[in-house]
Amino acid sequence: MQNIDLLFLLLGAILVLAMHAGFAFLELGTVRHKNQVNALSKILTDFSISAIAYFFIGYYISYGQHFFHSSQELSAEHGYNLMRCFFLLTFAAAIPAIVSGGIAERAKMRSQAIATLFIVALVYPFFEGMAWNGNLGLQDWLAKTFGASFHDFAGSVVVHAMGGWIALSAVILLGARHGRYKKDGRVSAHPPSSIPFLALGSWILIVGWFGFNVMSAQRLDAISGLVAMNSLMAMVGGTIAANFFGKEDPGFLHNGPLAGLVAICAGSDIVHPVGALIIGAIAGFLFVKLFTYTQNKLKVDDVLGVWPLHGVCGAFGGIAVGLFGQKALGGLGGVSMMSQCIGTLLAIVIALVGGCLVYGILKITIGIRLSQEDEYRGADLSIHRITANSEDAMF
């Protein structure tokens, strides 16, 4: 392993690590002022727990390698396996960061920390190993049966769909925020506390995403300009579509590029840039329409809309590879629609079952949401005993 490849992985890991600041500020800007401190605190806490869970358990489940060796053995090949773990660990930690946005403003922080431990140690690695390491023979069976294995280059399904569907189970088990839905059918508006912070979070995520996608090659000689341009085209497609269908609402506008980037992860290495633009635009449209539908019609109180953004757009991105990856539509080929559908559906099932088990057990045992009084006061005062801004700073 060349040192330059290690540097390539390190830069990718740093960029994806920086995305967690994006998750934090996106949530901070979306929630009400009384929950801003909690939004920042959850993301950092969950990342730290994710690192421990993945280093000691998750990476072994996914790739069959552990780090209970001497430092001399671990430093072989310049510590490549450690660096690869660091890079993939930042992906794994995105799962609880995604969930955090859905359950914001009423979840117990300690319960979420325990959920993070089990999700990153067991649930996520189970499917990650099947998709990216060939565990349990899934990929071999798909290739033999349908002519191609399940293709997910950078995690539309493995990371985003898994996170979004786990979040859906958590949101449903948690229940809506008190006062969100009135008895007469009206929906109480909880507008974002800070559009500038929301926009900052979006931009941090956008920039870091080019490490998420491009550096999923994991070797410098495998880097592809196609991945970079496809990521860019999907991002702008999602932005334009969300801005148009969201009627220039800044919340939709700044989540639109994220929807496009979520959807293009899977096929960013094989679809044509025009196909990427279309995928991104469809994802932006899906996010706007489904966010509105889930909040107003289904009355599912998914605060940041992580199920439509990550769960649905991620699943769409995985399936879209089976179409836009075909040579007839300008792709590089080597994909099967059946394999994409089966792989995506399996991820959804594992996410829902895993999410329901983890959050269901926690709900029965120690509880997963704040009391009505604590929720009314806000998580900042109830949990952290401090507000985002002192009273002196407000005058």
pLDDT for 29-81, tens place per residue?
A: 999 999 999 999 999 999 999 999 999 999 999 999 999 988 888 888 889 99
β-pair partners for 369:
107
Confidence class of residue 395 from pLDDT cuts 50, 70 and 90?
A: very low
Domains of the chain: 1-390 (1.10.3430.10)
pLDDT score of 135 more than 70:
yes
For residue 159, give the nearest of 261, 237, 65 by alpha carbon: 261
**Is the model more confident about 123 or about 185?**
123
Distance CA 165, CA 170 (A): 9
pLDDT value of position 235: 98
Q: Which of 19-33, 132-146, 171-185 shows the lowest mean pLDDT across its residues?
A: 171-185
- The confidence score (pLDDT) of residue 314 equals 98
| Mean pLDDT along residues 87-92 | 98
Average pLDDT rounded to a whole number, residues 219-244: 97
pLDDT in tens, 344-370: 999 999 999 999 999 999 999 999 999
Average pLDDT over residues 111-136: 98
Q: At what angle do helices 80-92 and 94-102 cross, to 10 degrees?
A: 10
Grade residue 132 by pLDDT with cuts at 50, 70 and 90: very high
**Tokens for 47?**
């990342």
Summarize the confidence of residues 168-190 as an average pLDDT. 91
All residues at 6 or more sequence positions from 220 whose CB lies less than 8 Å from its CB, including other chains: 2, 4, 5, 8
Residue 391 has pLDDT above 70, yes or no: no
